[in-house]
Amino acid sequence: MNLVETLSGTIGVRTAGSEEAARAAEAVAEAFRELGLEPRFQEFPLLGYDAEEPELEIDGERWPAGPCMYAQSGEVEGKIQRLSDGIWAVGDGRIRRTPFGRGPIPFLAGLKHGGYLATPPTAFVSVADDARLQEGMRARLVVRGEFVPGRRDRNVIAELAGESDEAIVVGAHFDAVWRGPGAIDNATGVEGLRRVAERLVGRKHPRTLRFIAFGAEEIGLLGARRYVLEVGAPERLDRIVGMVNLDCIGRGDKLVLLAAPAELLGRAEELARTLGLLDRYELSTEISEEAGTDHAPFAAEKIPAVSILHFPYDEYHLTSDTGELVDEQLMDDAADLATALVESQLARPVPRV
């Protein structure tokens, strides 16, 4: 099974809590079964949000805009006022510069706060259009979105028992954004997770391996946060000695490593060098416990955790994020690095700081 084709092609758009997300979880579970693993589901509730395309007019001209997840519905009109870099006010509404990619993408305004955060009527514009905005321009913004309580999503968990109950978690998220087929983000990461698992099954390991496909990453890392929350008591969290996450690994300008603590980041960089990846890619690194990837809830609990990405890329969060973009060399290199990091953590975990 190639999960890039299954998730982005056969299933397509799979926003958190949707029927398509449920189908994606089942597809990942079946891929684990094909490897001889027995998956289980960890279900959790969430507040859904069904967005419509925002309407944005600047000085009477219609501009493309992307929805802000969990924005209040409303219509605002008036002169634009610059609040800060990339954030503009239109009355009580907001226009925000998209943080990544080429177009006006769907995104969250409050990701760093951990989940859905209701905002005033808000829409995103592209970097290029943000540069065209000036104070005093006349704007009209219409935002429509429906809050949908009672939805549920799930993580897919498959365990490979080792000689110790200390565990290394290997993860990737399977959900996608509004109208996005999400081939790169993040069907590639889930396929990378499958490939890492395929390389590690059928072998004895000194510690347990836990492969997790996370749901609801795009609305605040909810699946990863829920997993960490349900692991619960400190003595149980202490049994997780490392985490390796794969996100957006099939296209992108740089090899990106986000990690904490510094010792793990240094180990990841050294392994990338040993594998020859630094000869092929420009490297970007950050010591981070608050990044918008699924390693962050683990790092926040002082579990050594790293995310591997190839990033940025122009089609991020757009409808053009399709399977034709996937670069197999990037996929293989990310899977090689993830496998090396997992094996390194299995043999010698990085100490908590």
Q: What tens digit of pLDDT does each residue of 198-210 get?
A: 999 999 999 999 9
CA distance 36 to 34: 5
Residue 112 has pLDDT above 90, yes or no: no
As a whole number, mean pLDDT of residues 41-54 equals 96
Per the DSSP assignment, residues forming a β-bridge with 123 are 67, 95
Residue from 222, 186, 234, 214 nearest 113 by CA = 222
Please check the confidence at residue 113 and state whether its pLDDT lies above 70.
Answer: no
Phi, psi angle pair for 75, to nearest 5°:
-125, 125
Among 118-122, 129-133, 327-331, which stretch is predicted with the lowest mean pLDDT? 118-122
Give the span between the Cα atoms of 139 and 276, in whole angstroms.
50
Domains within the chain, CATH numbers bracketed: 3-49+150-347 (3.40.630.10), 53-143 (3.50.30.30)
Phi, psi of 92 (to 5 degrees): -85, -5
Stretch 327-344: mean pLDDT, rounded? 98
pLDDT band at 28 (very low <50, low <70, confident <90, very high): very high
- Residue range 235-246, pLDDT digits in tens: 688 999 999 999
Helix intervals (H) in the chain: 3-4, 19-34, 127-132, 189-200, 222-231, 234-237, 262-274, 277-280, 296-300, 328-347
Q: What is the pLDDT of residues 122-150, one digit of tens each?
A: 999 999 999 999 999 999 999 999 999 99
